[in-house]
Amino acid sequence: MAASNFVDYVKIFCRSGNGGPGSTHFRREKFIPKGGPDGGDGGRGGHIYIKGNNQLWTLIHLKYQRHIFATNGASGSKSRSTGADGNDVTIEVPLGTIALNSETGEELCEITEHGQTIVLMKGGRGGLGNWNFKSSTMQTPRFAQPGEEGMEASVTLELKILADVGLVGFPNAGKSTLLSTITAAKPKIADYAFTTLVPNIGIVPYRDQRSFVVADIPGIIEGAHEGKGLGIRFLRHIERNSMLLFMISVDTKSIKKEYETLLNELTQFNPELLDKNRILAITKCDMADEEIKKALKKEIPKVSHIFISSVTGEGITQLKDMLWEELNK
């Protein structure tokens, strides 16, 4: 997916429909010149729904549709006829989308399943017609209820990618290369930092026609939780991953220090991320011989780890097995 096509944050203005007013009509026919009240109720205003669609991966379709309005309910009419309801509007979003009130920050809803539909804003109720108010003491009510006003608010939609495994590592750690090796995804790959500017997703085929989803999150740097580098723009995507695969290049100065720095950034952003299962992959091992690997093992943190090379295929099958086992614990 091109960088310009990936949109994970949009702000839209929504307004549900007003309810239609009730009618003050009186029955008037050829031989009934003074019939009683028969004004019908107004129709309800249109609702605004938000619905999950697993065929969507981005919010780009809402980027240029910033105003979403439902229509008003119609007025009631004679013969106790209820007015037509306003037309509802459904906003389709990718799975993992959260809707927030832009002014208060209150979470309105979150969409995690295909077809999940939630009323984002209710339309106003239709007003009651005058026939509802007739009584023995008031036989000719000449009033009816107005329709209830709809709701309006500025809504922020945030996408947090849903994936089984999130790839976490500093820029140029080999995340995109691994993704292109184990999935059919074709992320941009180059020998410089911040090659990946948007999250990439791929499906990993596994044994017996099974599979799992991997997300390549753009590189984190020290201070990312404070907004440095790509900042917290993509850190939120890690929150929705079932487990994390930390990736550190074999030629880094200190694997232990880099691992601790990554952990610290995640902790500062959201301490709950430490509750996720994690595996450490030492990448680019085609550049290291067995003697170097043996020496490196002494400084590797106490976490499940594996040496891999996306170029030669070293450790790739074993990595898939480890990920599958962790996902199914």
Using alpha carbons only, give the angle 39, 15, 48 rounded to the nearest 5 degrees.
85
Domain boundary among 125, 140, 159: 159
Res 224: pLDDT: 46
Domain boundary among 96, 124, 159: 159
Which residue, 282, 194, 209, 212, is CA-closest to 245? Answer: 282
Res 310: pLDDT: 86
Same domain, 89 and 109: yes
Same domain, 154 and 198: no
Domain boundary among 110, 135, 159: 159
Per-residue pLDDT band at 200 (split at 50, 70, 90): confident
Res 152: pLDDT: 95
Which residue, 193, 170, 195, is CA-closest to 180? Answer: 195
Same domain, 179 and 34: no
The residue behind tokens 């199914």 is: 328
The count of structural domains within the chain is 2
* Per-chain mean pLDDT for the chain: 84
Same domain, 200 and 314: yes
Per-residue pLDDT band at 122 (split at 50, 70, 90): very high
Beta strand residue intervals within the chain, DSSP E: 9-15, 48-52, 67-69, 89-93, 97-101, 107-111, 117-121, 152-159, 163-168, 200-205, 211-216, 241-249, 277-283, 305-307
Res 19: pLDDT: 96
User: By mean pLDDT, which of 5-9, 192-196, 255-259, 282-286 is the weakest?
Assistant: 192-196
Same domain, 169 and 152: no
Judged against a pLDDT cut of 90, whether residue 129 lies above it is answered with: yes
Same domain, 151 and 167: no
Q: Please give the structure tokens belonging to residue 215.
A: 């997300």
Same domain, 319 and 184: yes
> What's the whole-number mean pLDDT along residues 49-61?
90
> What's the whole-number mean pLDDT along residues 71-79?
94
Same domain, 288 and 228: yes
Same domain, 48 and 148: yes
Using alpha carbons only, give the angle 14, 66, 153 rounded to the nearest 5 degrees.
25
Residue with the bigger pLDDT between 57 and 59: it is: 59
For 297-308, write each residue's pLDDT tens digit. Answer: 778 888 888 998
Per-residue pLDDT band at 186 (split at 50, 70, 90): low
Res 297: pLDDT: 79
Same domain, 65 and 113: yes
Whether this model's pTM surpasses 0.75? no
Residue with the bigger pLDDT between 292 and 278: it is: 278
User: By mean pLDDT, which of 42-46, 69-73, 134-138, 150-154 is the weakest?
Assistant: 134-138
For 202-249, write each residue's pLDDT tens digit. Answer: 888 888 888 888 888 775 655 544 544 455 566 777 787 889 999 988
Same domain, 266 and 230: yes
Structural domain including 206 reads 163-327
Per-residue pLDDT band at 156 (split at 50, 70, 90): very high
> What's the whole-number mean pLDDT along residues 317-326?
91
Same domain, 200 and 289: yes
- Exposed/middle/buried for 239, CB within 10 Å: 0-12, 13-18, 19+? middle
> What's the whole-number mean pLDDT along residues 271-290?
86
In this structure, the number of other CB atoms found within 10 A of the CB of residue 179 comes to 24
Res 75: pLDDT: 95
For 256-266, write each residue's pLDDT tens digit. Answer: 888 888 888 88
Q: Please give the structure tokens belonging to residue 90.
A: 């459904």
**CATH number of the domain where residue 234 is located:** 3.40.50.300
**CATH number of the domain where residue 83 is located:** 2.70.210.12
Res 13: pLDDT: 96
Which residue, 186, 182, 153, 160, is CA-closest to 68? Answer: 153
Res 221: pLDDT: 58
How large is the C-alpha radius of gyration of the chain?
29
